[in-house]
Amino acid sequence: MPFDSTGKISFDHIYTAPDPRPFFGTLQRVDYQIPQLAKPYFTKLIEEYQAERGIARPTVLDVGCSYGVNSALLRCDASIDDLYEQYAAPGVQNLDRAALLERDRRLVTTHADPDGPRFFGLDAAGAALEYACSAGFIDEAIYADFERYDPDPEQQALLDQVDLVVSTGCIGYVTEKTIARIARGSRPWMAHFVLRMFSYDPVAESLAGLGYETAAIDGVYRQRRFASAEEQEQILGTLAEAGVNPDGLEADGWLYAQLYVSRPKKGAAAGLASALNAVASEDAAPDERG
């Protein structure tokens, strides 16, 4: 597989398929698990927003949503292993796309709370977005590249409805340009899992200009195993250049992320971080968090 400019193996090809089978088949082999580890934190984020704002059905935007993985886990109360079974189990490759979509729609119909949060997805991968929307994992798809372009009126109308923004690994490829363009409208709360090879500082600084404060959540979180010794060597070099110590973490074979929350209210980020740190101490097993 080719490598991108950061030293990571490029998985670009798995986002262009008409359904998620290549995505899950590939990522299962490297124990991709960050959406599962993120799930209780995103659930708590939603609960905190509901309690403070009194909004029963907040709208959650998943940045870099691909095939709607995070929203599927949250909306359908599924696990990442459930999704691996859904798309990578023996015999699934024999299904046509229509049959696969029908299974996913049935999953949403039988498990999703019709009064639960709404989910929007933002991605530059059109095929993945289209599947996520057709399956019912997301309610609205925003097919856009906000790294280069401002939202058009239709996209801005959707962004203006957003209450919460989440992501699990896109920061570093998506920069402060995209996040600021999202934030300018409705000033949503944010929670981003960011690989340690990338700094969240540019995003936090850009958001500060819009009245946001940012706080980090304790701990680190496994994203996936390195796909090869060559990839690990290159990422260790990237971490060294960034001044990040990999001992006991990336040096042992896994990519790790940190969680940051940003809120547009003085002193509010620390309170939200405290609430999410409670999730870390109560619900996350030590081996999951590294």
pLDDT band of residue 11 (cuts 50, 70, 90) is: confident
* Rounded Cα distance, 276 and 191, in Å: 10
pLDDT band of residue 288 (cuts 50, 70, 90) is: very low
Furthest CA-CA distance within the chain: 54
- The reported pLDDT for the residue numbered 14 is 87
Structure confidence by residue, pLDDT tens digits, 221-259: 999 999 999 999 999 999 999 999 999 999 999 999 999
Q: Residue 76: how many CA atoms within 13 Å on its side-chain side?
A: 25
For residue 189, the Cα-to-chain-centroid distance in whole angstroms is 14
Structure confidence by residue, pLDDT tens digits, 32-44: 999 999 999 999 9
**Residue 67: both structure tokens together:** 């095939």
* Rounded Cα distance, 204 and 208, in Å: 6
- The reported pLDDT for the residue numbered 119 is 98
Lowest pLDDT segment from 65-69, 90-94, 233-237, 280-284: 280-284
* Rounded Cα distance, 2 and 10, in Å: 6
Structure confidence by residue, pLDDT tens digits, 38-65: 999 999 999 999 999 999 999 999 999 9
Q: Which amino acid, one-letter code, is at 89?
A: A
Average pLDDT over residues 164-179: 96
- The reported pLDDT for the residue numbered 123 is 97
Q: What is the DSSP letter of 251?
A: G
Under 8 Å between Cβ of 80 and 185: no
Question: Minimal CA–CA distance to 12: which of 151, 247, 173?
Answer: 173
What's the Rg (C-alpha) of the chain?
A: 18
pLDDT band of residue 133 (cuts 50, 70, 90) is: very high
pTM for the whole thing?
0.94
Under 8 Å between Cβ of 166 and 62: yes
- pLDDT of 286 higher than 60: no
Q: What are phi and psi of 4, to 5 degrees?
A: -90, -175
* Rounded Cα distance, 290 and 225, in Å: 12
What fold is seen in the domain 12-289? Rossmann fold (3.40.50)
Average pLDDT over residues 200-209: 97
> What angle, 0 to 180 degrees and rounded to 10, lies between the N-to-C axes of helices 97-111 and 80-88?
150
Say what percent of the chain tops pLDDT 70. Answer: 94
- The reported pLDDT for the residue numbered 128 is 96
**Residue 32: both structure tokens together:** 């991709």
pLDDT band of residue 284 (cuts 50, 70, 90) is: very low
* Rounded Cα distance, 73 and 80, in Å: 7
